[in-house]
């Protein structure tokens, strides 16, 4: 059970413009994550802007973004985040075999060199914070500087999300 109640614009009409903006950018939905964030409208607005930029305004391939997000969710045991991003990963071309192998990606043939660079970088950033040059080199070889910045922001941002979700025990949708 969530540690903070969900809010929406039916409970506080002053939240309507922000809730409508969230729905507009999130496929018509007001997810439980945002219902919790609405306790701080300014934070919710900034969160929306940051994660809209990460998810839909960059040049990083959706496949790499979603692989990183799913791996962050696995590492942080953030089931809400993982479940929410499975459809996006599938839409980005991550097949069922890769999804099944993700936790043990090093032992799987499902992943390209670039996928492996993303997954290694994701693990280093999530577990160790600092990234060794040997782990960064494959990322640098596979991606432009802009893509590296976007990948790094994705990994860092989704670590933020998973920690927020898990600390407040945000409930799954439905």
Q: What is the pLDDT of residue 119?
A: 98
Token pair 């893509």 is found at 147
Using alpha carbons only, what angle is made at residue 122 by residues 27 and 62, rounded to the nearest 5 degrees? Answer: 35
User: What domains are there in the chain, each with its CATH number?
Assistant: 13-56 (no CATH), 62-168 (1.20.1290.10)
Q: What is the pLDDT of residue 14?
A: 93
Q: pLDDT band for position 161 (50/70/90)? A: very high
Q: What is the pLDDT of residue 37?
A: 96
pLDDT score of 174 more than 80: no
Q: How far is CA 104 from the centre of its chain?
A: 19
Q: What is the pLDDT of residue 106?
A: 96
Mean pLDDT of 105-128: 97
Do residues 158 and 72 lie in contact, with contact meaning Cβ atoms separated by under 8 Å? yes
**pLDDT tens track for 10-62:** 888 999 999 999 999 888 999 999 999 999 999 999 999 999 999 999 999 99
Q: pLDDT band for position 173 (50/70/90)? A: confident
Mean pLDDT of 115-140: 97
Helix (H, G, I), strand (E, B) or coil at 100: helix
Q: By C-alpha distance, which of 44, 43, 42, 38 is closest to 6?
A: 38
**pLDDT tens track for 85-98:** 999 999 999 999 99
Mean pLDDT of 68-94: 96
Model pTM greater than 0.85?
yes
Q: What is the pLDDT of residue 113?
A: 97
Q: What is the pLDDT of residue 1?
A: 82
Higher pLDDT, 119 or 25: 119
């Amino acid at each position: 059970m969530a540690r903070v109640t969900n809010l929406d614009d039916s409970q506080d009409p002053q939240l309507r413009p922000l809730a409508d903006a969230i729905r507009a950018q999130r496929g018509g939905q007001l997810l439980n994550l945002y219902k919790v964030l609405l306790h701080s409208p300014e934070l919710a607005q900034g969160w929306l802007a940051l994660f809209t930029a990460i998810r839909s305004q960059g040049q990083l391939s959706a496949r790499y973004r979603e692989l990183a997000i799913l791996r962050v969710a696995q590492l942080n045991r953030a089931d809400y985040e993982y479940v929410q991003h499975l459809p996006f990963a599938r839409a980005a071309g991550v097949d069922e075999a890769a999804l099944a192998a993700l936790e043990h990606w090093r032992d799987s043939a499902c992943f390209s060199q670039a996928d492996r660079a993303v997954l290694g970088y994701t693990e280093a950033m999530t577990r160790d914070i600092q990234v060794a040059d040997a782990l960064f080199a494959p990322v640098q070889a596979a991606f432009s500087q802009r893509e590296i910045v976007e990948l790094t922001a994705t990994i860092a941002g989704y670590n933020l999300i998973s920690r927020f979700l898990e600390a407040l025990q945000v409930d799954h949708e439905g």
